[in-house]
Amino acid sequence: MSRKRLATGWMGGCSGCHMSLLDLDERLLEVAKLADIVKSPVVDQKEFPEADITLIEGAIANEEHEQEIRNIRKKTGILISLGDCAVTGNVTAIRNQVTREAALERAYIEAPSNINGLIPNEEIAPLLQRVRPVHEVVKVDYYLPGCPPSADLIFYVLNELLNNRKPVLDQTNLKYG
């Protein structure tokens, strides 16, 4: 059996889904027997490589996320939305209750911790008008809800896909929150 190329990506989220991935513990060794991890927050590669499977954490909140997820989709065979932010927008999408301009003003001008009262225009990627779940921007093949998804669910799906089987996802193994 040929080795697969596994990648992860991190959009607008808290990294809790990546922490759940690390909670695979010794099962990571089983994944490593079948796949090379070609991109993740701990793999320092600037360009997103070709990947057989990519797990995406977080919602699409800014122009950089939107461009990156489109690039990832082009280079990925199977794209998995990992966690409630990627699947529904979840906490990241709370920003959708106000305008983009109001969110920036609150964060950079009104916040008590802000000293200069200026909204950065070069240091941060421009925010989208609204935060979107991944599937609203690109085609998603599998959805793993949860905040974060359990390590058991992540391992089950990866193990099935890495062994060329289609995972069965239903109400017995999927939950939100």
82-110 confidence digits (pLDDT tens): 999 999 999 999 999 999 999 999 888 88
pLDDT at 159 over 80: yes
pLDDT recorded at residue 113: 82
Q: Where are the domains of the chain?
A: 4-93+128-162
* Residues linked to residue 78 through DSSP beta bridges, in sequence order: 53
The mean of the pLDDT values for the chain is 92
Homologous superfamily of the 4-93+128-162 domain (CATH): NADH:ubiquinone oxidoreductase-like, 20kDa subunit (3.40.50.700)
pLDDT at 166 over 80: yes
Contact predicate 34/163, CB 8 Å: yes
Write the pLDDT tens digit of every residue in 16-65.
999 999 999 999 999 999 999 999 987 877 899 999 999 999 999 999 99
Question: In sequence order, what E strands does the chain have?
Answer: 4-10, 35-39, 51-57, 60-62, 76-82, 127-132, 142-144
Reported pTM: 0.92
Contact predicate 59/83, CB 8 Å: no
pLDDT recorded at residue 177: 62
